[in-house]
Structure 1
């Protein structure tokens, strides 16, 4: 498995490593969305109006493995190094990366540093785990990068939150639209939280439609809010378009130092 860790995008360290959105369907019905799990169709950034505190920066590391390498041991080393520093890594979909990086590396394993981590934290973690360039078998190099993620909370009233959760899981619309998500059951309330690749407005509405239908209500009954109301969000109108040209690889005469131009936004990661 190719390993990818989410840390703040700055460089790659050797050895240490839009099509138009689907039209919304009538209220109360699920929007038909053809997509890869947890992301919108295509390589471009989706149109996003749900921003501010609903969009955050996350620091990430992408491990580019040597050909045929088993990345299980590499992941274990990274997690051990993180645990030693009191850092908990978490999985996140590879689609948080810019198209230019995805053209260069197709990660099958992606882990995220916690909110508040910086690119320096990511770089140090990779160095602790893998040592000097070329010294760890199976790892060719590591990308250290900063990405944008949606950090959302959907809440809907439900007479039986547990039954609603089961119905939503059986239907599968949330897993299709979001990939990984978490649920929390309250007294007469179901909450769904999501941290992952940016979602188009149409895809967000498809989630609200699915939750509302299961609860016997309307999409407007599903409240959408930031997962956390503290920290610093992102104004998407000020974000440059992501790079789409593939990064040069060592085989093509490129170097191990990659910069896709995202560092100008900084590496601060607001907390959840």
Structure 2
């Protein structure tokens, strides 16, 4: 009776809401088939409402297969549903396809961007990841941590140019962020050589705590090896069993033309 009463009604009608309550979050196959029929009847707004009710009630893979071929499949709310279902189903290819459509230049709200962030596939093609990062930055919806995460993700994919673009924006707001400055130095070095990295190494050194290994590494990269060696020797005095520091000290000694001392440092 309730099914008959709900036919032709929008999903928010009292009879439809009563039926959805009764069939629950995991309906039987017959109820799922009835819900799918509802998504194909009536004007687009009514279909969209029923799609939103159907999608979380079916198995993610089954719902994704149906929603991806629905007449409304390319509308923004439905694309967001497809992205969420693909995430739940572990289908990165379907997620990337939905994301590609969402990034076609259409206007996206803050809520849309939050939904995208919650369901973006982990392993995106590099070009799509770059486009996503640029769109999020352009929309002003990336948090500082998200911007930094995007920079690291770009770097880990080997994208020095993309890393630089993201960090240019990030460092304008966070000019004393030591990890970001070091990453920018690495990206600049890869893109333009040591000279391009130097300004960022200088900035990183200016905000690095002392004494620590990070500062010693920055001094070495800036060619200030004697200062770096003094700092590493002080650090080794506090941690004589640290083999990593021993290797660092030996490397500096060799660079300073003292291979004999380096061999002594590395001797067991």
Q: Shared topology, TM-score over 0.5?
A: no
Query: Which structure shows the higher strand fraction?
Result: 1
RCO comparison, higher one (Cα < 8 Å, 6+): 1
TM-score range, shorter chain: under 0.3
The TM-score, its normalising length taken from structure 1, stands at: 0.22
Q: Name the one with the larger helix percent.
A: 2
Question: Which structure has the bigger radius of gyration?
Answer: 2
> TM-score, normalising length from structure 2?
0.22
